[in-house]
Structure 1
Amino acid sequence: MLRLIAFLMLLLPGILAVYGIKLIRDSFFGLVNPVFINVIIQFLAGFIFTGMGIGFIGGFLLHRDRKKNKTKGRFTDKK
């Protein structure tokens, strides 16, 4: 059950990032979704969605690797 929850935690930001890439692509070709009023706003929303999705997945993987000591001391806290 826990693996399913972890899979869903990575799946949803992945879908968000893919949708952001789709919005960016559509804004380059001038296709505006009905949700957005302008191509520029659609591009910015796609950029934000992509950044949030990739950032969450990257942070999740970094946290997991830190917990398992696989970062070779590169990302340790220096107190």
Structure 2
Amino acid sequence: MGRIIALLILLIPGIIAGVGIKLMRDTFFGVLVSPFSILWVQGFIGMICFAFGLYIVAGFILFRDRKRNNVSARFRK
């Protein structure tokens, strides 16, 4: 049960980060997605989605590695 919860914790922000990458890619190539009316807003929202997803996934991995003492001295508390 714990592994399924951990997978969901990583899967949901991973999907959000993937959507952010897609929005930034569409902005780069000039493809406007329907909920947005301006390209730079679409790119900004994509960047925020990507940063949020990366922040959550990286924080989860760092927390897990700190718990198991698998990090270098500068990341230990």
Shorter chain as denominator, the TM-score bin is over 0.9
Give the TM-score taking structure 1 as reference length. 0.92
Match of 2:23 in 1: 23
CA shift for structure 1 position 2: 1.5
Cα RMSD, aligned residues only: 0.9
Moved over 3 A (4+): none
**Residues paired across the two proteins, number:** 77
> Any gaps of 5 or more consecutive residues in structure 1?
none
CA shift for structure 1 position 46: 0.4
User: If each structure's helix is expressed as a fraction of its own residues, which one has the higher value?
Assistant: 2
Give the TM-score taking structure 2 as reference length. 0.94
Percentage identity across paired residues of the two chains: 45
> Any gaps of 5 or more consecutive residues in structure 2?
none
